[in-house]
C-alpha cells in the first residue's frame, strides 16, 4: 500500500493560475502517453507516486488519452481507487473534451451535447464526483462560442468541475470567450497550449499577451518539443525513439540537419548553466510570470526527477535569451 512521503512539499514551487486563488506546481504531470492500455500498471504507479512524493499535485488528462481513448482516465481511476484516492484533496485533477472520442456527430468539438456527455464519461472512468479543471480542448468554428461557454458554465454549476480552462485557443478567441465566461460568472482560470523554445505559436497568435492582459494562467504542453529538447537526439536518432517507434507526432522530417545543429548549440548553453538541455527548456518556458506550469510526460520515474530539477534555476540573462533566439532563427 502506498503512503506519500511526509516531506513532499519541501522542494516544489507553486504558482497562481493568473489572478485566481488556485496554485499549480511549476511542473505538472501529463498522462497523454504511457498511461494507456499498452502500458504496465505498476510502471504507471511508480511514475505517479514519484511525482506526488516530490510535490507534483497536478495530474492532467483528457477524454481521448490512451491508447485506446479513455484508457488513461480508466487506469488513473484504478490507481486512485487502490492507492492515491486518500490524497484526493491534495491533488488537482484536470481533463478535457474537444477532440474525437466516439463515433457519430456528437463525439467531438464543442457542442453542449458533447461536452456534458464527455464530462459524465470521464468522471465515471476515474471514479470521481468532480474534476478540479475541465477544459474545452480546441476551438470549434462551427459551434457558437456562447454554446460552448454555456456548457462549461453548466458543468461548474452542477458541481462536476471547480474551474474551467481553454486549450489550443488563440488570443482573439480567448478574449471573446473570456467576456462570455465572465458574464456567466464562470471561474475560467487557465489556458493550455503548446509552447517551447522551438514552438512560439502562442507568441505569434496573441495568446500569451492576451492571457497576461486578462490575468489568466498558461500551462504549456510539449515544452520539450516531443523530446527534441532533450539529450535523446544529440547524437542522432536512437532506434527506440518516438521518431522510429511511433511517428505520429514526431518524425524524421522534424530532424533536419539544421534542427540537430540547433539542438547541439542549445545544449552548449544548457551546459554553461549547469543544466541538462531538458531542464533548460523547461526553465525557459517558466521564465515569464504569465506561465503557471509546464506539463511533462514520463516513461520512468527518473525522468520525473530530472525534470523537476528545472525549477532550481528559471532565470535567464539577456545574453542567454538572445543566443537562444538567434539559434532558433538561424536553424529554422
Prediction pTM value: 0.94
Q: What structural domains and CATH numbers belong to the chain? A: 14-227+277-313 (3.20.20.100)
* Cα separation, 274 vs 282, whole angstroms: 14
Rounded Cα distance between 46 and 53, Å, is: 10
Distance CA 187, CA 184 (A): 9
DSSP helix/strand/coil, 158: coil
Element (H, E) at 250: none
Q: How far apart (Å, rounded) are the C-alpha atoms in residues 90 and 82?
A: 16
Strand partners, 97: 136
**How confident is the prediction along the chain (332 residues), in pLDDT tens digits per residue?**
999 999 999 999 999 999 999 999 999 999 998 999 999 999 999 999 999 999 999 999 999 999 999 999 999 999 999 999 999 999 999 999 999 999 999 999 999 999 999 999 999 999 999 999 999 999 999 999 999 999 999 999 999 999 999 999 999 999 999 999 999 999 999 999 999 999 999 999 999 999 999 999 999 999 999 999 999 888 767 665 555 445 555 566 767 888 999 999 999 999 999 999 999 999 999 999 999 999 999 999 999 999 999 999 999 999 999 999 999 998 77
Cβ contacts of 175 within 8 Å, gap of 6 or more: 210, 214
Cell numbers for 178, please give them. 473570456
Q: State whether the Cα torsion 147-22-35-270 is positive or negative.
A: positive
Amino acid at each position: 500500500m502506498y503512503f506519500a512521503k511526509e516531506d513532499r512539499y519541501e522542494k516544489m514551487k507553486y504558482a497562481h493560475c493568473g489572478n485566481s486563488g488556485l496554485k499549480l506546481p511549476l511542473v505538472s504531470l501529463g498522462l497523454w502517453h504511457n498511461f494507456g492500455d499498452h502500458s504496465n500498471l505498476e510502471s504507471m504507479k511508480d511514475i505517479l507516486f514519484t511525482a506526488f512524493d516530490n510535490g507534483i499535485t497536478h495530474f492532467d488528462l483528457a477524454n481521448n488519452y490512451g491508447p485506446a481513448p479513455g484508457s488513461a482516465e480508466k487506469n488513473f481511476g484504478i490507481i486512485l481507487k487502490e492507492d492515491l484516492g486518500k490524497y484526493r484533496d491534495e491533488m488537482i485533477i484536470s481533463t478535457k473534451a474537444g477532440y474525437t472520442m466516439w463515433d457519430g456527430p456528437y463525439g467531438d468539438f464543442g457542442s453542449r451535447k458533447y461536452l456534458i456527455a464527455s464530462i459524465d464519461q470521464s468522471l465515471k472512468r476515474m471514479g470521481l464526483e468532480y474534476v478540479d479543471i475541465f477544459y474545452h480542448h480546441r476551438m470549434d468554428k462551427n459551434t457558437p462560442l456562447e454554446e460552448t461557454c454555456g456548457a462549461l458554465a453548466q458543468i461548474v454549476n452542477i458541481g462536476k468541475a471547480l474551474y474551467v480552462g481553454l486549450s489550443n485557443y488563440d488570443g482573439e478567441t480567448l478574449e471573446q470567450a473570456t467576456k462570455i465566461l465572465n458574464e456567466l460568472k464562470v471561474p475560467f482560470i487557465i489556458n493550455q497550449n503548446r509552447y517551447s523554445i522551438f514552438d512560439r505559436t502562442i507568441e505569434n497568435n496573441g495568446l500569451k499577451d492576451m492571457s497576461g492582459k486578462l490575468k489568466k494562467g498558461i500551462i504549456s504542453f510539449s515544452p520539450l518539443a516531443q523530446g527534441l529538447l532533450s539529450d535523446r537526439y544529440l547524437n542522432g536518432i536512437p532506434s527506440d525513439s518516438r521518431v522510429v517507434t511511433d511517428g505520429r507526432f514526431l518524425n524524421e522530417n522534424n530532424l533536419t540537419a539544421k534542427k540537430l545543429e540547433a539542438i547541439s548549440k542549445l545544449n552548449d548553453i544548457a551546459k554553461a548553466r549547469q543544466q541538462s538541455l531538458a531542464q533548460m527548456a523547461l526553465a525557459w518556458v517558466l521564465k515569464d510570470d504569465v506561465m503557471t506550469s509546464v506539463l511533462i510526460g514520463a516513461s520512468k520515474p527518473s525522468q520525473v526527477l530530472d525534470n523537476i530539477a528545472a525549477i532550481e534555476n528559471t532565470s535567464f540573462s539577456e545574453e542567454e535569451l538572445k543566443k537562444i533566439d538567434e539559434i532558433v532563427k538561424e536553424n529554422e
